[in-house]
Amino acid sequence: MDGALFGTETEYACAGAAGQSPAEAAIRVKDGVFAGRKFGLIEPAPREWGEVPGNGGFLFNGGRLYLDSGHLEYATPECRTLEDVVAAERGGDQILVQTVADLGLQSEIFFIKNNTDHFGHTYGYHENYCLRVSPRSRDMVQGLLPFLVTRQLFAGAGMIAPAPLRGRATGSRSGGGPGVLPALPGSGSTVPVTPFQLSQRAAFVSVDVSHRVRFGGRPILNLRDEPLAGGRFRRLHIIIGDANRSEYATALKLGTTALVAQLLELGWDCDVELEHPVQAIKDISRNPHGNWTVRTARGGSMPAIEVQRAYLLEATRRFLGRDKDTDWTLRQWATILNGLEMDPLRLAGYVDWVTKYQQLSQFAEKSPRGWDDPALIKLDLAYHHVNPAVSLYTLLRKQGVIPSLVDDERAERAMQQPPADSRAAGRGHVVRAMAEARADDAIRWEVLARRLGERAVWGDERFVVYEYVDDWRDIRDTGAWHIIPYLIDWGAVAVKDHVLEFPDPFRDYAEEAERFGKSIPSLLRR
């Protein structure tokens, strides 16, 4: 997509490890990913946000795998096309599946790509978009909120409301009693349904905008602006999205959001302002039967689909015909909004929440316990299991119910190969060269394990290291290259004072990476 660069971060849930907590199982698999240098290289440096030495590493595909808040988290490489980002997400899923199989734990450890455990906890799926203006500007914030509040209509992953939230998920606009929601139009069903929400994240949101992502209130729009690139680039960090299984929904979610970000960068002033964005995002999520409306700041109400169409109209006016991804996004955006307006059930297979709602409804109709059957929660989770042997999503894909945008061969390549047209290509090449040179053999784990921090004297060695390393300059300034022989970052790779920087995420750095890679064995011997 012209001018766009994006990537995602997924915090996977983990279940089933006999005698192990999800966090312990995540550590075991993380170690498995990097132990054989099969997919990437471990990072020795302690990093910000409490990342201890060996907390994660960079991958040959240009992405990163690490532990965060007790979850195994995968960040895709920087992508410039929708196909690349969809493939990169699948590549991450398959790295976990392959590693669990390599460890012989496929019947013990299961990873789940979703955002709630049905016990009242949520965990993240974050989107990152490269910008040239600040995401914190008033125009950007006001322009994004109505879009993000209503985007769940086609990007929501759907869920049975977690038990702690069910009391607040009983609103009914027509028919049914307390705790009963009406059926979707077109379903022809009069069977009462259990509380179901379009979004897995909306129920956990408490503020519209915040610099924080978790404590102090989960926001619709996070204001973190950590570009991880050169000075002219900024980063939009969106944490309200669901981890989709539908590749179509993933592509549409990222494509539409990239276009909206570009509209706002160009100075377009969205004429829609919501009265209560937090209330609106929850109200929409709790309503799976259509006719979604939002209250506007001017005191009236408008259909949520019309909010989306306001963005679509302007994006079409400005961008139609620009490039393949843009045209795909515009066409599918228009089609999905019409589908949602006329009969959401026809979008099964494309929109995750519709697919899941249909599956759960059919299961409940056949169960003697109906919507009270506890197996429904397992079925909800099954949709998100990444192990294809036990994944409802994979089953439906194989049955032809759900389309794929990338084939299995493309997804398998994405486990190892970075996108060719971003700096991920250069980073991936260097990480592979470092792994082939066994750079991690030079890490002095026994010293790192004694905790870094402040001034230290160990044996005859005296040096200063920091509690965590910001970038390669910290290691250079403290003379700690003999402990931490290399550093890999989104914006640079360093091996013992030799640095290759990637300030422009839109460049592939192919020639520089090739030269740097060849020098690594000699650098490590110094």
Interface of this chain with another protein, residues 19 to 58, rule: CB under 8 A: 22-23
Residues in contact with another protein, shown as a per-residue x/- string from 318 to 357 under the rule CB under 8 A? --x------xx-xxxxxxxxxx-xxx--xxxxx-------
Question: Do 98 and 200 meet the contact criterion of CB atoms below 8 Å apart?
Answer: no
Who contacts 139 (Cβ-Cβ below 8 Å, separation ≥6)? 264, 267, 269
Q: Of 4, 5, 13, 435, which lies in the binding site for another protein, with binding defined by CB under 8 A? A: 13
Q: Angle at the Cα of 460 (from 455 to 466), degrees rounded to 5? A: 25
CB of 164 to another protein, least distance (A): 12
Pick 284 or 392: Cβ nearer another protein: 392
Within residues 357-376, the interface with another protein by CB under 8 A covers 358-359, 362-363, 366, 375
Shorter beta-carbon distance to another protein: residue 331 or 438: 331
Binding residues among 113-172 for another protein as defined by CB under 8 A: 117-119, 121-124, 126
| Whole-number Cα distances in Å, 357 to 174, 198, 348, 390 | 18, 9, 9, 19
What torsion, rounded to 10 degrees, do the Cα atoms 133, 139, 143, 146 define?
130
Q: Rule CB under 8 A: choose which of 1, 4, 7, 11 binds another protein.
A: 11
Identify the burial level of 477 via C-beta atoms within 10 angstroms of its C-beta, where 0-12 means exposed, 13-18 middle and 19 or more buried.
exposed
Binding to another protein, residues 104-123 (CB under 8 A):
110, 117-119, 121-123
Site string for another protein, 382-401 (x = CB under 8 A): x--x---xxxx--x---xxx
For the CB of residue 394, give the shortest distance to another protein in the complex, in Å.
Answer: 10
Span 400-429, contacts to another protein by CB under 8 A? 400-405
Identify which of residues 129 and 350 has a Cβ nearer to another protein in the complex.
350
User: CB-based contacts of 514: which residues, under 8 Å, 6+ apart?
Assistant: 429
Cβ-based nearer residue to another protein, 156 or 418: 156
213 binds another protein (CB under 8 A): yes
Catalytic position from the list 2, 31, 68, 421 = 68
Residue with tokens 């899941």: 356
Active site residue 2: no
Question: Is residue 469 within 8 Å of 490, Cβ to Cβ?
Answer: no
Contact 135, 237 (CB under 8 A): yes
Selected range binding another protein among 68-76, 164-172, 450-458, 479-487, rule: CB under 8 A: 68-76
Query: Residue 425 Cβ, how far from another protein at the closest point, in Å?
Result: 26
Nearer to another protein, 101 or 320 (CB): 320
Which residues face 65 on adjacent strands?
57, 74
Interatomic CA distance for residues 11 and 7, integer angstroms: 14
Q: Which two tokens stand for residue 71?
A: 């979850």
Q: Alpha-carbon distance 288 to 401, whole Å?
A: 20
User: What span, in angstroms and rounded, lies between the C-alpha atoms of 363 and 396?
Assistant: 14
Please state the closest distance from residue 311 (CB atom) to another protein, in A: 10
Active-site residues: which are they? Answer: 68
